[in-house]
Amino acid sequence: MSANIPLTTITTLTGAVIMGYAWLYLGHKIHDPRKPVGQSVRYMDKFFLYMMIFFIIMSIPYPWTNDPARFSVSAAWSYVVGHVFMYLGLMYVSRMTFSLIPRLKPYDKPLTVVWLIAITLQTAFNAKTMIWGVQPTYNYKLHLTEFHTYTGVGIALGLMAAIAFVPTIILFAANAIRAHGVERIKPALLSVGFLLITTAGPLHDNARSAQQYALADIFTTLGMVVVLSGIAFRMRSELAAEEQSPQAKHVPSSTV
């Protein structure tokens, strides 16, 4: 391991801790028999679980930063395998959004099939262009990883992130606007946090300079901290089962 801790290592480990905390926090709520929760909460819990796994896998190569060849191979495999879990996390964000909108709930299964097909194709594309293409390298001067992601991979990731997150961001933002006083804080934090993550992810995969990689890592960490703040923020209304009230089905803040 190099003497200086890589910035990308800090980002991935921070992401794993934040997503792990959010997963455990929601898991505790889900398994509390006194407070039933809706399907959207379970989907969001899956999102945090898969994102935690993603960040853990992305952290694997860093003990070998002093061995460039070994680092590049392990980073390529970690990227491809890790992103499978990130894509699954995005799928559950989409399923959560559908579960909050009554007219879209019947389309959950077709949505899942489409996502699984897209994940399979994208993973094959990732493997071809990175494992058997241009592999990541470690920038020893700036202490961060340059993934050299193929342009098409970056564009596809940006589209997948937008499809998953943009509707969710709109739902949280709309709820923040409708809410009053302190009740605006949680949905506002979640909306801003997811917006930062949505922006940072594609920026990271489309970066073409060390400065852009560093900026994407910083944005990713900031976004995760804001999301964690939203998850941990206590409101007077606890996790409510949106299925118990027709109006509550449209309130995304009740999911976390």
Q: Give per-residue pLDDT as tens, 92-118.
A: 999 999 998 889 999 999 999 999 999
3-state secondary structure of 145: strand
Q: Give per-residue pLDDT as tens, 7-16.
A: 778 878 888 9
Q: Residue 143: which CATH number? A: 1.20.1070
Q: Is residue 154 part of a domain?
A: yes
Say yes or no to pLDDT of 208 above 80.
Answer: no
Q: Is residue 73 part of a domain?
A: yes
Q: Is residue 234 part of a domain?
A: yes
Q: Is residue 1 part of a domain?
A: no
Q: Is residue 70 part of a domain?
A: yes
Task: Return the pLDDT at 253.
Answer: 43
Q: Is residue 2 part of a domain?
A: no
Can you say whether residue 99 is alpha, beta or left, with left for phi > 0 and alpha for psi between -120 and 50 degrees?
alpha
- For residue 125, give its domain range: 7-255
In this prediction the pTM is 0.83
Structural domain total, the chain: 1
Q: Which residues make Cβ contacts (< 8 Å) with residue 226, sequence separation at least 6?
A: 189, 192, 193, 196
Among residues 59, 62, 107, 114, which one has the least CA distance to residue 87? 114
Among residues 239, 252, 231, which one has the least CA distance to residue 98? 252
